[in-house]
Amino acid sequence: MLHLLSDILDLSRIEADRMPLERNPFSLRRCVESATATVSPAARQKSLSLGCEVAPSVPDRLCGDANRLRQVLVNLLGNAVKFTSVGFVRLAVETTAGKDSGGGIELHFLVEDTGIGIAPEKQALIFEPFRQADNSTTRRYGGSGLGLAICKRLIGLMGGRTWVESEVGRGTRFHFTCWIELAPEAGGIVQPDAAPALAFVSAQPVQRSWSVLLAEDNAVNQRVMVQLLKKRGHAVTIAVDGRQAVELALRERFDLILMDVHMPEMDGFEAARAIRHGENSAGTRVPILAMTACAMKGDRERCLESGMDDYISKPVVVAELFEKLDRYAASASLQAKLKQHAAGLA
């Protein structure tokens, strides 16, 4: 009731032109990180992959209303998690224009999910107060139908616009732009009211393209991981079960293997043991990272016993994924070069 009352008051203030926006210096990446942290528990509970990316061209020190921007992001991310059962939710930020003479910049935000989607004839209705795409969503998913109406009006106050791309059963992409001033170099940063931050990744240029074998039987998880990896410039080969993973690992050269623990035909632990057995005779060793939704005490030891190097919990935290991928793949690449050099000296 308090949340509903707060939404009604916000909408009333906006429509009465009594919603002034603050102008304080803030860190955009901290604001994005805070919004993502707020919805992270709900995403983890549903085993969804949750990630956010800020393009390198986006400046961090801005001047505006960080709390209202965070309110928009939390609402859009919260909706994406609410209406997504499997797959991922992703937030991306990029610039759309250069600085103008007034020292401002236009940003483009994208919140993408693999949820239930919205029918074309319903997409215009969702931005109206107390309206949802389907009456049944009120009973199944809850909500008052005010969140998107407030978001659209707040974005309008920030000089931006909102639009949506969606297809029933194939997910939704919410876009919005806003015009924000650049903050002066001097002066303190005002942080938004926020929960503690979680893992966050800023999209940086790839230093090296790795060849990755992805052993995953779930089609949605395959699509999510392939999108994440290819966006960073990595080459991905998919194995749909443990047996195929073993065949590919022993036949082709990979910098790293991402191995789902639970797969048909042969699980990840058995597949890792088979790969290590085959590598012993060949004198090679490719890093294997387990992916598991059941990361419990003792799982790391079990991974190591089967020949794996480490594990990543599901839902995948994007920063952790790429930190471990780069660390293990780079180490394997260095070892291979040293081995080639030693062979050349022999």
- State how far the alpha carbon of 236 is from the alpha carbons of 210, 313, 328, in Å: 8, 20, 16
Tell me the per-residue pLDDT of 179-208, one tens digit each, with 9 for 90 and over.
Answer: 999 987 655 555 554 443 333 333 333 356
Q: With a cut of 60, say whether residue 3 has pLDDT above it.
A: no
Q: Over pLDDT 70: what percentage of the chain? A: 73
User: Where does the pLDDT of residue 343 fall: very low under 50, low under 70, confident under 90, or very high at 90 and above?
Assistant: low
- CATH code of the domain made up of 211-345: 3.40.50.2300
Residue 337, pLDDT score: 53
Under a CB-based contact definition with an 8 Å cutoff, are residues 156 and 19 in contact? no
The chain-wide mean pLDDT, for the chain, equals 77
What is the greatest pairwise CA distance in the chain?
82
The first and second tokens of residue 255, run together, are: 């910098």
Query: Residue 62 has what pLDDT?
Result: 93
| Domains 2-182 and 211-345 are alike in CATH topology | no
Q: Which CATH homologous superfamily contains domain 2-182? A: Histidine kinase-like ATPase, C-terminal domain (3.30.565.10)
Query: Quick one: 136 exposed, middle or buried, by C-beta within 10 A (0-12, 13-18, 19+)?
Result: exposed
- Show me where the domains of the chain are located: 2-182, 211-345
> How many residues in total does the chain contain?
346
Q: With bands split at pLDDT 50, 70 and 90, how would you rate the model's confidence at 339? A: low
Q: Where are the alpha helices (DSSP H) in the chain?
A: 2-15, 28-45, 66-82, 135-141, 147-157, 219-231, 242-251, 268-282, 299-305, 318-345
* Distance of alpha carbon 64 from alpha carbon 72, whole angstroms: 14
Per-residue model confidence as pLDDT tens digits over 58-95: 899 999 988 889 989 998 999 899 999 888 899 999 99
Phi and psi of 93, rounded to 5°? -130, 135
AA identity, residue 342: A
* Whether the predicted pLDDT of 237 surpasses 90: yes
Give the pLDDT confidence of 145-162 residue by residue, as tens digits: 567 888 888 888 888 999
The string of DSSP codes covering 74-94 is HHHHHHHHHT-SSSEEEEEEE
Query: Taking the model in full, what pTM does it have?
Result: 0.53
